[in-house]
Amino acid sequence: MTTVQQILDAKGHDIYFVRPDDTVLHALQMMERRNVGAMLVKEDDTLVGIFTERHYARKVFLKGRSSPKTRIREVMESNVVYVEPGQNAEACMALMSDKRIRHLPVLRDGRLVGLISIGDLMKSIIADREFNIEQLVRYVQG
């Protein structure tokens, strides 16, 4: 079973972040530039939140707030659910499903080392299943 560390090794450890006092517009521009659906929020090298497309839709757009005037700290999720590198992909998928989230920061000893998405997990789980099927077919065919 694939671990979070293996997923990060395959996709890269790039971490994109904004600061709590950055504007929502700045975060959206960064997300578009990086082609990501979430930005981690760091302050003094500490993870303090996460801002996603869902936060924008629900807390800014639908409330009629101004992206250039609204600060990330006003709309970010500060109770961040995270995983550790040794956790397996299926456990992470179950956590995402239970918490109804699509992105998980990865922390090692309290230090941010990456971010995985539901898409990263799906690719990993599908690859694991395809490998298992291939092994079973080889076994049955002798």
pLDDT in tens, the chain (142 residues): 899 999 999 988 789 999 999 999 999 999 999 999 999 999 998 999 999 999 999 999 999 999 999 999 999 999 999 999 999 999 999 999 999 999 999 999 989 999 999 999 999 888 777 777 787 777 788 7
Query: What's the pLDDT score for residue 133?
Result: 76
Q: Helix axis angle, 89-99 relative to 4-11, nearest 10°?
A: 90
Q: How would you classify the pairing of strands 46-52 and 111-117?
A: unpaired
Which amino acid is present at 119? G
Q: How far is CA 42 from CA 2, 6, 80, in A?
A: 28, 24, 12
Q: Is 113 helix (H, G, I), strand (E, B) or coil?
A: strand
4-141 is classed in which CATH architecture?
Roll (3.10)
Phi, psi of 41 (to 5 degrees): -115, 120
Domain ranges in the chain are 4-141
